[in-house]
Amino acid sequence: MTAPTLVMVAPGSRDQRVVRIAHALQAELTALRPEVKPEIAFLDSCLPSLIPTLAGLQAGGVREAVIVPLDLVHAVEVDPRYGGVVAHAAREFPGLRLQVSRPIGPEATLLSLLDSRLRSALAQARVLELDGLILSSPTTGDVRGTALLARRARQWSTHHRLPCLTAVADGSGPSVPQAIQGLRAQGRRHIAVGSFFLAGDERYAVQADQARRGGAIAVLDPLGSAVEVAELVLARYAFAAMELLSFDEQGNFTTDLMSDEDAEGYAVSA
């Protein structure tokens, strides 16, 4: 028995930057934990899609896999399509056990990465003064994710002692121009726009253009394949992989089925 295969799943996009970021994240994960052997799949618009990826895993002798949604704004809920994938896999791939992890979500550890992006953007724009921040995301996420995004904005605001408003790119909440207008109403003129986007997809490009048109002095790059993101993927994988462990009737883990090296794969932690 070997450790489950990690399958990272990203929303598909016609923008190849999404694909490149997924592959870069795969390389980062391989460097961190080469024994995990991460795979990549997409829900739509890009190849490989998830069902053929799972078919290939079973054909290759894989018995267990953990699906990790690459979603930075949903904290608990996953795309409903994952349920259909798991049901399909149960019918078509009976030899493959699946577990879907929580999404990455807007974790507090990503604020340090956000600050790194902020320093880089300000240096590139040669900005010496900053008096307002905006935290932009693709959507509002689930209920828990929305609450956490608001908390991250407050934490970022407290850390820099500057007002920080949230904005979303899909119309489900205040837009970047509206957030900029809100800060300008407070007398703020030097505004930077942070990003809880994983990749520079179409929605990111739109919000970045809106920010620049609105007079933002700096627009931060997406969080991308940074090691902080990779470590969160590994943490989600490790927690979900525990659900696939076998126990005997007394509730003891059946370690005799697994070598020490394989058991280590279950103990990944960020």
Could you give the maximum distance between any two Cα atoms of the chain, in Å? 66
Per-residue pLDDT tens over the stretch 83-133: 888 898 889 998 999 999 999 999 999 999 999 999 999 999 898 899 999
Q: What is the reported pLDDT for 1?
A: 55
- Tell me the mean pLDDT in the region 56-70: 93
Give CA torsion, residues 81, 141, 32, 67, to 10 deg: -20
The pLDDT > 90 percentage for the chain reads: 68
* Of residues 265 and 87, more confidently modeled: 87
Length of the chain equals: 270
Indicate the angle between helix axes 143-160 and 110-124, nearest 10 degrees: 50
Q: Give the count of alpha carbons within 13 A of 184, CB side only.
A: 11
Per-residue pLDDT tens over the stretch 165-202: 999 999 888 999 999 999 999 999 999 999 999 998 88
Per-residue pLDDT tens over the stretch 5-40: 999 998 877 778 888 999 999 999 999 998 888 999
Task: Specify the pTM.
Answer: 0.86
Q: What is the reported pLDDT for 30?
A: 92
Two tokens at 258?
A: 């697994």
User: In 101-236, at which residue ranges do the beta strands (DSSP E only) sit?
Assistant: 132-137, 164-168, 191-195, 218-219
Tokens 């078509």 belong to which residue?
A: 92
CA distance 178 to 234: 36
C-alpha triplet 226, 232, 237: angle, nearest 5°:
130
CA distance 224 to 157: 22
DSSP 269: -
